[in-house]
Amino acid sequence: MAAAGGGWAAVCEKFRTARTLSAVESRKDPETEPYRSKYSARALLQEVKQLLSAAEEGGEARLLAVRRAVLEYELGVNHTDTEELSAGEEHLQRCTQLLEPHRLSPDCVSLYIQAQNNLGILWSERDEIKTAQTYLESAEALYNQYMKEDGNPPLDPSEHFMSEEEKLTDQERSKRFEKAYTHTLYYLAQVYQHLEMIEKAAQYCHTTLKRQLEYCGYYPVEWALNAATLSQYYLSKQCFMESRHCLAAASVIFSQAGQVPSAEDNETEQDQQDLRQRKAEIARCWIKYCLNLLQSAQKLLEDNIGELDPDRQLELKAQRKKEEDEKEKGRKKAVLFGTSDICDSVLAMEEKVSSVYPLDFQEAREIFLVGQNYVQEAKEFFQVDGYVTDHIEIVQDHSALFKVLAFFEEDYERRCKMHKRRIDMLEPIYADLNPQYYLLISRQLQFELADTYYEMMDLKVAIGNRLEELDSHTIKKINSLAQLSIKYYELFLDSLRNPDKVFPEELEEDVLRPAMVAKFHIARLYGKLITSDSKKQLENMQTSLEYYTFLVDYCEKYPNAVCAVETELELSKEMVGLLPTRMERLRAKLCPFI
């Protein structure tokens, strides 16, 4: 071979220089010549290509083909980096053509996969996601086939231009090969996401995370945050086992991040602040986990008026017994994070909270308490002074945890106290909040406060109904809760008014349902107010009628609104029909002689 000895060493040197130019030097290129180093690298690669052609005569055909493929690959990447996509495509295609016959052999498989990866990127940049998908999926298939048939650590593409003594260890080879494949999976995750194959995309994200952990290619904090975020995807799919696994792994890996000793000395205050924030973010993902698990259980257990259905409870308990064995099997099939040590820690972390639906108060309470602990942890960082929005969101979650726990509570008095706890956490925040900057949150709080008072009033009515006769204390309580509920619903409705205090003719889509529900609830609340004064009672009925009428009239004028408030509308129509007669009767009683 002509390029043997010193000649070959020079070729390797040129190749190496080209790679350094491309990867390292190019970062320092000036704005006016952003691709200067890339162009120099390209020129060098062309030279190497020339030298190889000259050597072609005497050389071994296969060896030459593979070396040429490496150059085509490097040129392909170079052109795509410099935004010359069609030239890039040509080079990459030539690379895969040269390798086609040898793609399953250990000296080619890694290069072939990387060329396919780059073709995938190239086509995704052209917005031809389907084409990108075929390249990436074929890279994936090749990896699997190679691992099945051979499995030995294959050569890294750069080794084709190295002297014998420079060649990599098996360990390093394996690391680079696995990294290339991890990239394949990562790009596939993106492709599937773009094609809206969400489930597949999530699965590939999950696998990518798992591989990052196995091959140590990760930053603990970033990894933990990614895993915690993925847990939130599983929540939306009601996959609580997977969600908990992600969260447990996130917590375990995050705790490693704090233990890196060298980092401690150089850590600035900002870094520590960031670290504390990330920890709080993960805590917030745990809160959502507890909340979703409880709320989903509530959905399963409630009857048609939203109360716990004891038959359903028994049924689900029996069903759960049967399913326990199968769950165990499913557990083993799920993609688990980490190897031995990490995996053990993750499993230990998981044991601290259930991933199956709680079916009674005791079970619900355990999940609630875990959630509440994370609320405290999250609040330590997200304090109201400095993090208003985050802080309030956490408080809202805390309130929601109490709300769902109350569902499982059988005792009405205790249930009422739980709602009072919600009021106590929400009311002071609402009072301080400036709606000029926090309009949407302010509205949410108004609505939630109104709703909570409404619920408390209902509970007090239920408690009162058990008594022989309503005592004045209970009546006072019911009335004051109803008044407070009305107050917050009205505040919410007022927030919709325009600068001149006029209520909008037509409601915006996003506030349509809450506004209608507020009107409807106010109507009902006026109906519930207890008074011995018949005149007052008549007034209340009149107000109630006005609110019901609003709903009916509005839906007549804007038929689009009907589907948003079907049940409420039906009841309102009924009331609009009934109330005038009742009022007539009351009036007759008041002034029997007129």
Partner 1 sequence: ALPLMNLPSVEGDAIKVYVRVRPPSEGTVLTDGDQSLCLSVLSSNTIRLHSKPEPKIFTFDYVANMETTQESVFSSVAKNIVESCMNGYNGTIFAYFESASFVQHNMRRPSDSDNFTHSLRGVIPRSFEYLFFLIEREKEKAGSGKSFLCKCSFIEIYNEQIFDLLDSASAGLFLREHIKKGVFVDGAVEQVLSSAAEAYQVLTMGWRNRRVASTSMNRESSRSHAVFTITVESMEKNNEIVNIRSSLLNLVDLAGSERQKDTHTEGLSCLGQVITALVDVGNGKQRHICYRDSKLTFLLRDSLGGNAKTCIIANVHPGSRCFGETLSTLNFAQRAKLIKNKAVVNEDMQGNV
The structure tokens listed for 50 are 């020339």
Q: Which of 6, 31, 466, 532 binds partner 1 (CB under 8 A)?
A: 31
Nearer to partner 1, 146 or 430 (CB): 430
389 binds partner 1 (CB under 8 A): yes
Q: Whole-number minimum distance, CB 174 to partner 1, in Å?
A: 17
Instruction: Provide the b/e sequence for 384-413 (b: ≥16 CB within 10 Å).
Output: beebbebbbbbbbbbbbbbbbbbbbbeebe
Q: Which of 434, 472, 567, 581 binds partner 1 (CB under 8 A)?
A: 434
Q: Whole-number minimum distance, CB 197 to partner 1, in Å?
A: 11
370 binds partner 1 (CB under 8 A): no
* Distance in angstroms (rounded) separating the CA atoms of residues 258 and 200: 33
Q: Whole-number minimum distance, CB 212 to partner 1, in Å?
A: 7
Q: Whole-number minimum distance, CB 278 to partner 1, in Å?
A: 8
Largest CA distance in the chain: 126
The structure tokens listed for 168 are 């990599």
121 binds partner 1 (CB under 8 A): yes
Nearer to partner 1, 509 or 574 (CB): 509
| Residue appearing with tokens 């509920």 | 485
3-state secondary structure of 308: strand
Nearer to partner 1, 296 or 479 (CB): 296
Q: What DSSP character marks residue 548?
A: H
| Residue appearing with tokens 């040197």 | 13
Instruction: Print the binding letters for residues 488-507 with partner 1: x by CB under 8 A, - otherwise.
Output: -------x--xxx-x--x--
* Distance in angstroms (rounded) separating the CA atoms of residues 181 and 18: 24
* Distance in angstroms (rounded) separating the CA atoms of residues 443 and 293: 26
Residue 119 near residue 89 (C-beta atoms within 8 A): yes
30 binds partner 1 (CB under 8 A): yes
Nearer to partner 1, 64 or 248 (CB): 248
3-state secondary structure of 302: strand
Q: Whole-number minimum distance, CB 31 to partner 1, in Å?
A: 4
Nearer to partner 1, 363 or 393 (CB): 393
Q: How many residues bind partner 1 (CB under 8 A)?
A: 68
Contact range with partner 1 by CB under 8 A, out of 95-103, 251-259, 298-306, 435-443: 435-443
Q: Whole-number minimum distance, CB 504 to partner 1, in Å?
A: 9
Tell which residue, 231, 437, 245, has the closest CA to residue 338: 245
Q: Which of 438, 492, 520, 554 binds partner 1 (CB under 8 A)?
A: 438
HSE of 411, CA atoms in CB hemisphere, 13 A:
5
Nearer to partner 1, 288 or 460 (CB): 288
Site for partner 1 in 34-53 (CB under 8 A): 34
HSE of 435, CA atoms in CB hemisphere, 13 A:
14
Site for partner 1 in 175-234 (CB under 8 A): 182-183, 186-187, 189-190, 193, 198, 201-202, 205, 208-209, 212, 217, 222, 225-226, 228-230, 232-233
| Residue appearing with tokens 């009674």 | 360
Contact range with partner 1 by CB under 8 A, out of 9-17, 327-335, 429-437, 526-534: 429-437
Instruction: Provide the b/e sequence for 321-334 (b: ≥16 CB within 10 Å).
Output: eeeeeeeeeeeeee
- Return the HEC string of 319-355: HHHHHHHHHHHHHHHCCCCCCHHHHHHHHHHHCCCCC
Site for partner 1 in 78-107 (CB under 8 A): 81, 83
Contact range with partner 1 by CB under 8 A, out of 50-58, 290-298, 476-484, 532-540: 290-298
Site for partner 1 in 137-156 (CB under 8 A): none
401 binds partner 1 (CB under 8 A): no
Instruction: Print the binding letters for residues 231-250 with partner 1: x by CB under 8 A, - otherwise.
Output: -xx-xx--------------
Q: Which of 44, 45, 395, 400 binds partner 1 (CB under 8 A)?
A: 400
- Return the HEC string of 102-167: HCCCCCCHHHHHHHHHHHHHHHHHCCCHHHHHHHHHHHHHHHHHHHHHCCCCCCCHHHHHCCHHHC
Q: Which of 37, 292, 345, 544 binds partner 1 (CB under 8 A)?
A: 292
436 binds partner 1 (CB under 8 A): yes
Nearer to partner 1, 6 or 386 (CB): 386
3-state secondary structure of 422: helix
* Distance in angstroms (rounded) separating the CA atoms of residues 464 and 460: 6
Any idea of the CA torsion for 573, 574, 576, 579, to the nearest 10 degrees?
-170
Q: List interacting residues with partner 1 (CB under 8 A).
A: 29-31, 34, 81, 83, 121, 182-183, 186-187, 189-190, 193, 198, 201-202, 205, 208-209, 212, 217, 222, 225-226, 228-230, 232-233, 235-236, 270, 278, 281-282, 284-285, 287-288, 291-292, 295, 384-389, 397, 400, 429, 432-440, 495, 498-500, 502, 505, 508
